[in-house]
Amino acid sequence: MKERKTGVARWAAFGLLVVALCVVAAGCGGDDDGDSGSSTAVEGLGTSLEEIQSLAREEGEVNVVQWPGYAQLTKEFAEATGCTVNTKDGASSDDMISLLQTGAYDGVSASGNASVRLMTTGEVAPIDTELVPNYADVQEGIKDQDYNSFDGQAYGVPHGRGPNYLMFRNDIVPEDTNSWSVIWEDEGLQEWGGKISIYDDSIFIADAAVYLKATQPDLGIDSPYQLNEEQFNAAVDLLKKQAAAGLNYWPGDVAKQIGEYTNGDSVVGTTWPYQYVQLTAADPAVAVTAIKPSEGTTGWSDTWMLYSKAQNPNCMYLWMNHMISPEAQALVAEGFGEAPVNLKACELTKDQNHCDTFHADDEAWWEDVYYWTTPVEDCADDDDSTTCKTQEDWEAAWTEIKG
Amino acid sequence: MTSVPLSESPPREGLGRRLSTFFYRHPRIRLSALLALPLGWLVLVYFGSLFVLLLSSFWETDSFTREVVHEFTLDNFRQIFEQDVFRNVAWRTIQMAILVTIADVILAFPIAYYMARVASPRTRDLLVVLVLVPLWANYLVKAYAWRTILSDGGVVNWALEPLGLQVDGLSTVGLWLVFTYLWLPFMVLPIYAGLERIPSSFLEASADLGGRSLTTFARVILPLAFPAIVAGSIFTFCLTLGDYIAPGLITSEQFIGTVIYSIRGEALPTAAAFSFVPLVVVVAYLLVARRLGAFESL
């Protein structure tokens, strides 16, 4: 009798488990992919600037995913609009996308390798630029690019652009270094192996491609983000050779890289201007030099985008307008070390030469800066038979490269 | 015994009273009501999340947007088995977990032995507190502190400098040191408890029968303390296997945790599939540990 009872209890427990798992499965099966493509208006958004401003006062806050150091004048913004700004730093474009997908944020400062994906999935909403007054002051050359608009429809407001620098300790590495070869060729790898600082993201494969484009023209690389089998394998081989020399990865964690350069654990590598600004502004300043090497470099042109299911769309609209105001642009440009997109900011920077130093209005300088974008199968050439490596391939290779 | 006439004054029927009568009459419902919360937690939250993990390891992802597509595929598991890198990383992590466990046993046993059998009660209390104190400091702070200690300008290289030596502390060896430090208390406490349980008469009996200290150690103490050592190793082994923060801070080498962390955003299904490797290893480890009697010593 007792035996039977425990038997029944066991089956009952098993049944309960199955039922519970089915409930869970149904729960997560239910929320299939939402709408794809472009849905125009975001729910709750005002139709005129006045309406947006009054609705924003009711919302009272805006939550944004940003690259570290992007948000500026948040206090002034809160006083003027009634929107308190809460920021969350993203470490990489993938990181930013997953953060946005949690639904807890209203917008994001997306680089090209995030923005294209977000526009395709419909996770960001088209923008009515009429409702963003400062948009008129944005440099024309940066509007309507494939990383911030789709079919001529703007999907955000440009934030600023910058290069990924080669940065080195000029008291340790020769001061006249002006080529990426120092982190790619045997000589440099032997000398600085173990002290090379590398951005930990699959997009870094493009940096290898930029170097190959300059040094091995036979490969015929055009865009470092559109690589066919042969070009891709060459880049991966180069990266594997580099990884074998010993690298310090910085996974978007700027504090980690800043610490390493300060105490000499890293002496040469790739960086964002932000860390360079922080290191040279530190007390005592760290002896670092950051350059765009002769081969050119990768870079980014970032866009503030509105989450299509934003809780606070009105505050986000005002925030986008705020971030391209001359005042905020000046602070961003100097704080992060990038070129502003609103040239009115150039009169407001503390360093009057900032816009010249960062080539804000010098299109020729940007010609060999390859902005981050998402690798896709289409090689964008005339030959239909060639296919290029996709984002998925890049990621798998990156795990492989790190070993 | 005098019987009380129940029918005379029926007790007031409040809601609580009625409820308790109801439960008294229906023992099965009483049992279910008692267990509903803990069982619900265990089944829904605990197994539920594991099940979701298993489920998501069978989904596909879009090669461009990297969104999860709800279509069944075994590719993620195929990738884990076929790509060398996953095997290498898993093996490296398991090796690390084994080495950390061995080092912790070697370090923890003398401490635990001293605490259990040699120290005066006051010293013993002091030692217990000292072993426990590091557990109250935040894990992240300790990991970062070790980063500073092991880095180029850190204490280790500063101390070695007069000898003309320089070591690369931020390496796999450095990580081994850090793990050994982090999990040491988890090894000391079970061994201490296990050694304390051995009656002194056993040791005296061994001595009376002519056993030297080494013989006593090898044939009496060690076999009796062995389940406790295995119990401690469960902690050190499993904690090392799953950790991702310390490896990310100390080395550039990839471990199971860091790989899952770095691919989770764009390749969630692959990450989910890979997370079954440590799960399987740990379940196997626990089965062996149970065989060795470790669960009685926990």
Helix (H) or strand (E) holding B272: helix B268-274
Two tokens, residue B73: 């595929």
Q: What is the pLDDT of residue A325?
A: 93
Helix (H) or strand (E) holding A271: strand A268-271
User: Is A172 touching B (CB cutoff 8 A)?
Assistant: no
Task: Output the CATH code of domain A165-271+376-402.
Answer: 3.40.190.10
Measured between CA atoms, how close is A181 to chain B, in angstroms? 22
Two tokens, residue A337: 């070390």
Q: What is the pLDDT of residue B12?
A: 63
Contact A265 B264 (CB under 8 A): no
| Mean pLDDT (chain A, rounded) | 86
Q: What is the pLDDT of residue A217?
A: 92
Interface predicted TM-score (ipTM) = 0.74
Q: Which DSSP category does B64 fall into?
A: T
Chain A residues touching B152 at Cβ < 8 A: 263-265
Choose among B295, B99, B103: nearest CA to B184: B103
CB pairs under 8 A between A and B: 106
CB burial class (10 A; 0-12, 13-18, 19+) of residue A224?
buried
Helix (H) or strand (E) holding B236: helix B222-242
Q: What is the pLDDT of residue A9?
A: 58
Distance CA B56, CA B69 (A): 10
For residue range A105-134, list pLDDT tens digits in order: 999 999 988 898 899 888 999 999 889 999
> CB-CB: which of A21, A28, A395 is closest to B263?
A395
Structural domains of chain B, with CATH: 93-297 (1.10.3720.10)
Distance CA A304, CA A372 (A): 15
| Distance (Å) of CA A154 to CA A40, A117, A145, A186, A387 | 11, 15, 9, 45, 29
Q: What is the pLDDT of residue A28?
A: 46
What CATH superfamily is the domain A49-162+300-371? Periplasmic binding protein-like II (3.40.190.10)
Distance CA B153, CA B149 (A): 8
Two tokens, residue A223: 């865009």
| Distance (Å) of CA A226 to CA A201, A209, A223, A375, A379 | 17, 9, 5, 6, 6
Distance CA A24, CA A21 (A): 5
Helix (H) or strand (E) holding A249: strand A247-250
Q: What is the pTM of this model?
A: 0.80
Distance CA A385, CA A379 (A): 10
Chain A residues touching B154 at Cβ < 8 A: 263
Two tokens, residue A375: 């690798």
* Secondary-structure percent of chain B, ordered helix, strand, coil, rounded to 5: 75, 0, 25
Q: What is the pLDDT of residue B105?
A: 96
Sole residue written with tokens 């050190």: B236
User: Is A23 touching B (CB cutoff 8 A)?
Assistant: yes
Map out the domains of chain A as residue ranges: 49-162+300-371, 165-271+376-402
Sole residue written with tokens 């594991």: B50
pLDDT of A319 above 90? yes
Mutation for testing the A interface, residue in B28, B43, B53 having most A CBs under 10 Å: B43
Distance CA A154, CA A271 (A): 29
Burial A169-182 (b: 16+ CB within 10 A, else e): bbeebeeebebbbb
Contact B63 A391 (CB under 8 A): yes
Contact A24 B39 (CB under 8 A): no
Distance CA A365, CA A292 (A): 10
Two tokens, residue A166: 């080669």
Q: What is the pLDDT of residue A29?
A: 43
Helix (H) or strand (E) holding A261: helix A254-263
pLDDT of A375 above 90? no
Q: At what angle do helices A112-121 and A93-101 cross, to 10 degrees?
A: 30
Contact A20 B252 (CB under 8 A): no
Two tokens, residue A74: 């948040």
Distance CA B143, CA B246 (A): 6
Distance CA B149, CA B158 (A): 9
Q: Percentage of chain A surpassing pLDDT 90?
A: 51
Mutation for testing the A interface, residue in B252, B253, B255, B261 having most A CBs under 10 Å: B252
What band does A6 get if pLDDT is binned at 50, 70 and 90? low
Average pLDDT over residues A13-41: 49
Contact A391 B151 (CB under 8 A): no
Sole residue written with tokens 């199955």: A18
pLDDT of A153 above 60? yes
| Total residue count of chain A as it appears in this document | 403
Which residues 198-257 of A have a C-beta within 8 angstroms of B? 200, 202, 246-249, 251, 256
Average pLDDT over residues A219-246: 92
Contact B152 A265 (CB under 8 A): yes
On the question of a cis peptide bond just before residue A284, with omega within 30 degrees of 0, the verdict is: yes
How do strand A153-154 and strand A149-150 relate by DSSP bridges? Answer: antiparallel
Residue pair A200/A249 in contact (Cβ under 8 Å)? The answer is: yes
Two tokens, residue A283: 């007390």
Q: What is the DSSP string of B132-195?
A: HHHHHS-HHHHHHHHHHHHSTTSHHHHHHGGGT-----SSHHHHHHHHHHHHHHHHHHHHHHHH
Q: Vertex A270, ends A268 and A273: CA angle to 5°?
A: 110
| Distance (Å) of CA B46 to CA A17, B51, B295 | 11, 9, 21
What band does A38 get if pLDDT is binned at 50, 70 and 90? very low
Two tokens, residue B151: 């880095």
Over its C-alpha atoms, chain B yields an Rg (Å, rounded) of 27
Residue pair B258/B240 in contact (Cβ under 8 Å)? The answer is: no
Chain A residues touching B264 at Cβ < 8 A: 98
The torsion of the CA quartet A201, A320, A119, A138, rounded to 10 degrees, works out to: -90
Residue pair A103/A97 in contact (Cβ under 8 Å)? The answer is: no
Q: Which residues pair with A37 in a beta bridge?
A: none
Average pLDDT over residues A231-243: 95
Choose among A277, A282, A279: nearest CA to A266: A279
Q: What residue ranges of chain B have pLDDT lower than 70? A: 1-13, 297-298
